[in-house]
């Protein structure tokens, strides 16, 4: 194997004709699309001159035991990329001058070299130039790509990035978006899919995921003919600020989840199907519950791990949705305002406690004669206010520092010495409290 150059931080330049690929048979899974993106980035980094590309497999995927049957997962994905025929198309009709159909990869090979597994791949001759040195492309962050958990959201992000400078995608019939976002070929089932179901199961979750993860914001625009939705497009806006610094280094695709499912006795294809239907978080939670149940073997061993896991998925998916809803509610303006108020109240509480102690120390530093004089004045004041006799007795016999009357003396003295605002912090004083908290 040839020596690989250092991987740069350049983004993935994904050709416009690869953004809306539509499978003619079979399906393109989320993990397959992520893996293909990483392979393409590595190929672009190597340069245009090479017809075949190689890389250590652990730099393409992670989460697998390369010395076990986990390699079957990689082989199946590579086999699918070679055998799945796709129509290469731009999200904008007529943007590319030619119509092309081929496999995602022309060939793939796994080979163990000096104890390390390497992957070799190539692209169809009619697509090679466009893939490795594209003229029109979307500039994508591989770190953002790695965070997506659904195929539809990843595709929407890639298309959105292509048109972020324009502000909107092209209009297409809503049926056109079905194979593009689902990664499934049009068949009898998808042909019968109603728009409201497509919107509920794919469009809305994808938009929410793009909003949560990506550096762009997208909104759905529906175009009607009469009462019926006929075409869809999306508005695209760049986010003002991205909280995290992003890297474009091609990180390995995480196959740990499907590998864990395979080890639990569930075919990785079925695991990916469950992940696509219920989400990766729900699948991870379900696999964990399956493992605990299998270990307990009570009241009897699990006969069909897949059926058992599938029965768990709706409940785990609902729990994930509930948790996500709670997180979103926590981000609402009302919740944020409430949190800010609570933080400010805590600052005021800390400042007030320190202020009381400061005043108490100031009184204690006074001559005894002055303290006695203040005690007499306070006793008269409390008598006029008809304070409970027990507290008056406590002040006259046990002194002002007793816990029952200490706060009375502090308030009385401070009001006379500093005025009625003595126990109300300024904005600057609260900032000092906040700074001390951050320093800790």
C-alpha torsion sign, points 14, 16, 18, 22: positive
How confident is the model over 54-100, as pLDDT tens digits? 999 999 998 888 877 788 899 999 999 999 889 898 898 877 777 78
| Pick from 413, 269, 434, 420: nearest CA to 348 | 434
210 within domain boundaries: yes
244 within domain boundaries: no
| Res. 5: pLDDT tops 50 | no
252 within domain boundaries: no
pLDDT value at position 118? 95
Q: What is the pTM of this model?
A: 0.68
User: How far is Cα 252 from Cα 60, in angstroms, rounded to an integer?
Assistant: 4
356 and 292 part of one domain: no
Q: How many domains does the chain have?
A: 3
Q: Domain boundary at 295, 311, 330, which?
A: 330
- Do 30 and 150 contact (CB within 8 A), yes or no? yes
- Do 141 and 248 contact (CB within 8 A), yes or no? yes
- CB contact burial 71-86 (16+ within 10 A = b; e otherwise): bebbebbbebbeebeb
User: How far is Cα 117 from Cα 62, in angstroms, rounded to an integer?
Assistant: 12
Q: What percent of the chain has pLDDT over 90?
A: 37
Q: Taking the CA of residue 33 as centre, how many other CA atoms within 13 Å lie in the half-sphere pointing to its CB?
A: 33
How confident is the model over 324-367, as pLDDT tens digits? 666 666 666 676 677 777 778 888 888 888 888 899 999 999 99
357 and 322 part of one domain: no
pLDDT value at position 327? 65
- Do 347 and 432 contact (CB within 8 A), yes or no? no
- Side by side, the strands of the sheet bearing 116-122 are 53-56, 116-122, 107-113
85 and 213 part of one domain: yes
243 within domain boundaries: no
| Res. 206: pLDDT tops 70 | yes
128 and 190 part of one domain: yes
User: How far is Cα 202 from Cα 152, in angstroms, rounded to an integer?
Assistant: 6
Helix H or strand E encompassing 83: helix 71-83
250 within domain boundaries: no
User: How far is Cα 80 from Cα 89, in angstroms, rounded to an integer?
Assistant: 19
65 and 207 part of one domain: yes
Strands (E), 16-126: 22-23, 53-56, 61-62, 85-88, 100-103, 107-113, 116-122
Residues 6+ apart with CB under 8 A from 43: 50, 53, 121, 123, 131, 132
43 and 146 part of one domain: yes
Tokens of 438: 């951050």
| Res. 175: pLDDT tops 90 | yes
pLDDT value at position 344? 81
Tokens of 343: 């933080």
Question: Which of helix, strand or coil describes residue 279?
Answer: coil
| Pick from 31, 82, 103, 86: nearest CA to 60 | 31
319 and 410 part of one domain: no
User: How far is Cα 227 from Cα 223, in angstroms, rounded to an integer?
Assistant: 10
Cα-trace Rg, the chain = 33
| Pick from 395, 400, 391, 416: nearest CA to 368 | 400
344 and 317 part of one domain: no
pLDDT value at position 420? 87
| Res. 391: pLDDT tops 80 | yes
413 within domain boundaries: yes
pLDDT value at position 427? 81
Q: Domain boundary at 330, 351, 368, which?
A: 330
The domain spanning residue 167 has which CATH number?
1.10.10.10
157 and 23 part of one domain: yes
249 within domain boundaries: no
83 and 232 part of one domain: yes
Mean pLDDT confidence for 113-140: 91
| Res. 6: pLDDT tops 50 | no
Inter-CA distances, 135 with 64, 166, 180, Å: 36, 17, 22
User: How far is Cα 434 from Cα 311, in angstroms, rounded to an integer?
Assistant: 49
User: How far is Cα 60 from Cα 1, in angstroms, rounded to an integer?
Assistant: 16
- Do 37 and 14 contact (CB within 8 A), yes or no? yes
Q: What is the DSSP string of 132-182?
A: HS-SSEEEE-HHHHHH--SHHHHHHHHHHHHTTTTTBPPPEEHHHHHHHHH
72 and 201 part of one domain: yes
Q: Which of 6-10, 313-317, 412-416 has the lowest mean pLDDT?
A: 6-10
User: How far is Cα 117 from Cα 79, in angstroms, rounded to an integer?
Assistant: 17
- Do 178 and 187 contact (CB within 8 A), yes or no? no
6 within domain boundaries: no
Q: Which domain holds residue 156?
A: 12-238
| Res. 156: pLDDT tops 90 | yes
- Do 86 and 24 contact (CB within 8 A), yes or no? yes
Q: Domain boundary at 238, 266, 291, which?
A: 238
Indicate the average pLDDT of the chain: 86
Q: Taking the CA of residue 363 as centre, how many other CA atoms within 13 Å lie in the half-sphere pointing to its CB?
A: 26
How confident is the model over 239-266, as pLDDT tens digits? 865 544 556 666 788 898 899 898 888 9
pLDDT value at position 33? 94
72 and 147 part of one domain: yes
């Amino acid at each position: 194997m040839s020596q690989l150059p250092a991987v740069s931080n350049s983004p993935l330049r994904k050709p416009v004709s690869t953004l809306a690929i539509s499978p003619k048979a079979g399906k393109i899974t989320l993990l397959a699309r992520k893996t293909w993106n990483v392979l393409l980035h590595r190929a672009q980094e190597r340069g245009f001159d090479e017809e075949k590309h190689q890389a250590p497999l652990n730099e393409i995927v992670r989460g697998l035991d390369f010395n076990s049957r986990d390699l079957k997962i990689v082989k199946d994905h590579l086999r699918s990329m070679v055998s799945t025929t796709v129509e290469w198309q731009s999200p904008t009709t007529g943007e590319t001058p030619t119509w092309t159909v081929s496999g995602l990869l022309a060939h793939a090979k796994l080979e163990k070299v000096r104890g390390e597994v390497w992957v070799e791949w190539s692209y169809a001759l009619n697509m090679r130039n466009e893939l490795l040195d594209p003229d029109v492309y979307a500039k994508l962050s591989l770190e953002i790509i790695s965070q997506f958990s659904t195929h539809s959201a990843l595709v929407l992000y890639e298309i959105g990035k292509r048109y972020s400078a324009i502000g909107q995608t092209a209009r297409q019939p809503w049926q056109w978006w079905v194979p593009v976002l689902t990664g499934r070929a049009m068949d009898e089932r998808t042909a019968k899919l109603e728009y409201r179901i497509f919107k509920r199961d794919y469009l809305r979750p994808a938009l929410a995921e793009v909003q949560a993860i990506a550096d762009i914001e997208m909104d759905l625009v529906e175009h009607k003919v009469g009462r019926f939705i006929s075409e869809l497009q999306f508005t695209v806006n760049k986010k003002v600020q991205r909280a995290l610094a992003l890297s474009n280094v091609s990180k390995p695709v995480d196959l740990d989840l499907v590998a864990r499912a395979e080890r639990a006795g569930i075919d990785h294809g079925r695991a990916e199907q469950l992940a696509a239907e219920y989400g990766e978080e729900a699948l991870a939670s379900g696999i964990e519950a399956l493992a605990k149940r299998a270990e307990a073997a009570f009241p009897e061993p699990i006969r069909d791990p897949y059926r058992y896991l599938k029965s768990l998925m709706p409940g785990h998916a609902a729990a994930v949705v509930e948790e996500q809803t709670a997180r979103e509610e926590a981000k609402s303006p009302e919740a944020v305002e409430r949190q800010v108020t609570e933080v400010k109240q805590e600052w005021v509480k800390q400042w007030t406690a320190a202020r009381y102690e400061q005043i108490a120390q100031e009184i204690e530093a006074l001559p005894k004669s002055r303290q006695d004089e203040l005690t007499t004045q306070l006793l008269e004041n409390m008598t006029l206010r008809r304070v409970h006799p027990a507290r008056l007795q406590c002040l006259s016999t046990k002194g002002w520092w007793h816990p029952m009357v200490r706060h009375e003396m502090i308030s009385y003295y401070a009001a006379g010495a500093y005025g009625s605002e003595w126990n109300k912090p300024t904005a600057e004083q609260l900032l000092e409290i906040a700074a001390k908290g951050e320093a800790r």
